Amino acid sequence: MTSPVWHPFTQHGLNEPIPHVVRAEGALLHLDDGSTLIDGISSWWVTTHGHCNPRIAAAIAAQAGTLDQMIFAGYTHDPAEKVARELVEIAPRGHGRPDLAHVFFSDSGSTAVEVALKMALGHWHNLGAPDRHRILVLQHGYHGDTIGAMSVGERGVYNRAWSPLLFDVGTIPFPSVGHERLCLDALEAACAARPAPAAFIVEPLILGAGGMLVYAPEMLRKMAAICARHDVLFIADEVMTGWGRTGTLFACEQAGVVPDILCVAKGITGGAIPLAATLATAAIFDSHRSQDRAKQFYHSSSYTANPIACAAAVANLAIWREEDVLGRIAALSSGIARRMTALAAHCAFANPRQLGTIAAIDLITPDAGYLSDLAPRLRAFFLEHGLLLRPLGNTIYLMPPYCVDEDQLDYIFTTLVAAGDRFGVQA
pLDDT digits (tens, 9 = 90+) for 31-87: 999 999 999 999 999 999 999 999 999 999 999 999 999 999 999 999 999 999 999
**pLDDT at residue 237, as a whole number:** 98
Return the pLDDT at 296. 95
The number of distinct structural domains making up the chain is: 2
Claim to verify: residue 384 and residue 330 sit in the same structural domain: yes
Q: Is residue 2 part of a domain?
A: no
Residue range 146-156, pLDDT digits in tens:
999 999 999 98
Q: Is the pLDDT of residue 426 over 80?
A: no
Residue 364 located in a structural domain = yes
Same domain, 128 and 265: yes
- One domain, residues 257 and 404: no
CA 396 – CA 363 distance, rounded (Å): 7
* pLDDT value at residue 427: 40
Whole-angstrom Cα distance, residue 216 to residue 386?
34
**Domain co-membership, 378 together with 233:** no
CATH no. for residue 215? 3.40.640.10
Mean pLDDT computed over every residue of the chain:
96
Residues 304 and 343 in one domain: no
* One domain, residues 274 and 351: no
Beta pairing, strands 170-172 & 135-138: parallel
* 16-37: pLDDT as tens digits: 999 999 999 999 999 999 999 9
Residue 4 included in any domain? no
What mean pLDDT is predicted for residues 384-395? 96
Range of the domain at 348: 12-52+325-423
> Is 62 part of a structural domain of the chain?
no
151 and 48 in a common domain: no
Rounded average pLDDT over 101-107: 98
Closest to 345 (Cα-Cα) out of 417, 399, 393: 417
Which pLDDT does position 59 carry in this prediction?
A: 98
Alpha-carbon gap, residue 288 to 296, rounded angstroms: 5
Rounded to whole angstroms, how far apart are CA atoms 208 and 141?
8
Residues 103 and 226 in one domain: yes
Does residue 57 fall inside a structural domain? no
% of the chain surpassing 70 pLDDT: 100
C-beta separation of 112 from 238 below 8 A? no
In this prediction, residues 253-258 reach a mean pLDDT of 98
Residues 315, 230, single domain; the answer is yes
User: Over the chain, what HEC string results?
Assistant: CCCCCCCCCCCHHHCCCCCCEEEEEECEEEECCCCEEEECCHHHHCCCCCECCHHHHHHHHHHHCCCCCCCCCCCCCHHHHHHHHHHHHHCCCCCCCCCEEEEEEECCHHHHHHHHHHHHHHHHHHCCCCCCCCEEEECCCCCCCCHHHHHCCCCCCCCHHHHHHCCCCEEECCCCCCCHHHHHHHHHHHHHCCCCCCEEEECCCEECCCCCEECCHHHHHHHHHHHHHCCCEEEEECCCCCCCCCCCCCHHHHHCCCCCEEEECHHHHCCCCCCEEEEEEHHHHHHHCCCCHHHCCCCCCCCCCCHHHHHHHHHHHHHHHHCCHHHHHHHHHHHHHHHHHHHHCCCCEEEEEEECCEEEEEECCCCCCCCCCHHHHHHHHHHHCCEECCCECCEEEECCCCCCCHHHHHHHHHHHHHHHHHHCCCC
- The answer to whether 417 and 340 are in contact (CB under 8 A) is no
Does pLDDT of 295 surpass 90?
Answer: yes
Q: How many Å apart are CA 269 and CA 3, to the nearest integer?
A: 30
* Domain's final residue, options 322, 356, 387: 322
Asked whether residue 81 falls in the same domain as residue 205, the answer is yes
Strand partners, 23: 30
317-to-82, 114, 171, 237, 249 alpha-carbon distances in Å: 10, 24, 35, 19, 11
Q: How far apart are the first and last CA of the chain?
A: 39
Residue 419 lies in a domain: yes
Q: Mean pLDDT across the stretch 307-320?
A: 98
User: Does a structural domain hold residue 181?
Assistant: yes
Confidence band, pLDDT 50/70/90 cuts, at residue 371: confident
Q: Say if residue 426 is exposed, middle or buried (CB neighbours under 10 Å; 0-12, 13-18, 19+).
A: exposed
Give the separation between CA 239 and CA 21, rounded to whole angstroms: 25
Based on the domain organization, do 315 and 329 belong to the same domain? Answer: no
The mean pLDDT of 284-312, rounded to a whole number, is: 96
Residue 236: name the closest of 220, 215, 247, 219 by CA: 220
Choose one of 322, 350, 385: the last residue of a domain.
Answer: 322
Give the domain CATH number at 393: 3.90.1150.10
Rounded CA separation 405/23 (Å): 19
Domain boundary among 322, 345, 368: 322
Above 50 in pLDDT, residue 266? yes
Question: Has residue 58 been placed in a domain?
Answer: no
Q: What is the pLDDT of residues 115-126, one digit of tens each?
A: 999 999 999 999
pLDDT tens for 192-219 read: 999 999 999 999 999 999 999 999 999 9
Query: Is pLDDT of 278 > 90?
Result: yes
Which tens digit of pLDDT belongs to each residue from 80-93? 999 999 999 999 99
Q: Is 213 found in the same domain as 262?
A: yes
> Taking the CA of residue 394 as centre, how many other CA atoms within 13 Å lie in the half-sphere pointing to its CB?
19
Angle between helix axes 307-322 and 78-90 (nearest 10 degrees) is 40
pLDDT at residue 370, as a whole number: 76
